[in-house]
Amino acid sequence: MTLQDSLDKLKERIEGGMPPQIVNIMHQATADLEASGIGEGILKVGDKAPEFKLPNQDGNLVSSTELLKNGPLVVTFYRGAWCPYCNTDLGNLKRYTAELQEFNATMISVSPQMPQYNKQITTQQRLNFDLLSDSENNVANEFGLRWEMVDPLKSLYRDSFGINLPNYNGDESWTLPVPARFIIGTDGIIKYAEFSIDYTKRPNPDVLVKALSEI
């Protein structure tokens, strides 16, 4: 079963138990985000990747510049511990860590949530890579991924789902990253890039292995 097969089953189970009006709000918000043209500003293959230094799940600073001294860097952007689609993606990604390491590649994931929540999901999922905390989605913004949640989706998350982003992220911005994956070469240039404005859609991670083999 591919990652997308798992995500499709998850979506069917989650949305199948929701009233149609709630599902419509979620789908319309995704359509509006796509129509906003955000995809045009997301960094692409050939672009220079931003440098960053962020705390991991244990509070230790991790530098992209230092990691790139060892080999290519695989960077994924993760919404938060409250997102079942992202958690499924993370659980799937950890199966590929050993294959990525064969190319001297390091994988990390970047989320706007505070380190304690990254620690929580790292422990629950037994992840074998770091989750970094990107306060206010500043690094995500440099990659062109940051967007702001507004009503009615904001009220739906907060009042109906009990997901109050300020509690997770430690700021009042109500911003999130578009889920994305990048491979950054040792020269700091992006060699592979993909994103999913529809957060329920993700390519199977074996594309990362294929991309690394071609670098």
pLDDT tens digits for 5-43? 999 998 999 999 899 999 999 999 999 999 999 999 999
The stretches in the chain having pLDDT less than 70 are none
Burial class for 111, CB neighbours closer than 10 Å (0-12, 13-18, 19+): buried
Give per-residue pLDDT as tens, 133-144. Answer: 999 999 999 999
DSSP 94: G
Confidence (pTM): 0.95
How many percent of the chain have pLDDT more than 90? 96
Q: For residue 215, what pLDDT is reported?
A: 85
Q: Residues 17, 215: contact at Cβ < 8 Å?
A: no
Residue 25 phi/psi, 5-degree rounding, is -65, -45
Q: pLDDT value at position 73?
A: 98
Match 């999130």 to its residue by tokens: 176
Check residue 1 and give its pLDDT.
Answer: 81
Burial class of residue 13 (count of CB atoms within 10 Å of its CB; 0-12, 13-18, 19+)? exposed
Domain total for the chain? 1
Domain residues for the domain of 130 are 3-214
pLDDT reported for residue 81: 95
What's 105's domain CATH number?
A: 3.40.30.10
Residue (of 189, 179, 48) closest to 109 by Cα position = 179
Q: For the chain, what percent of residues have pLDDT higher than 70?
A: 100
**pLDDT at res. 20:** 94
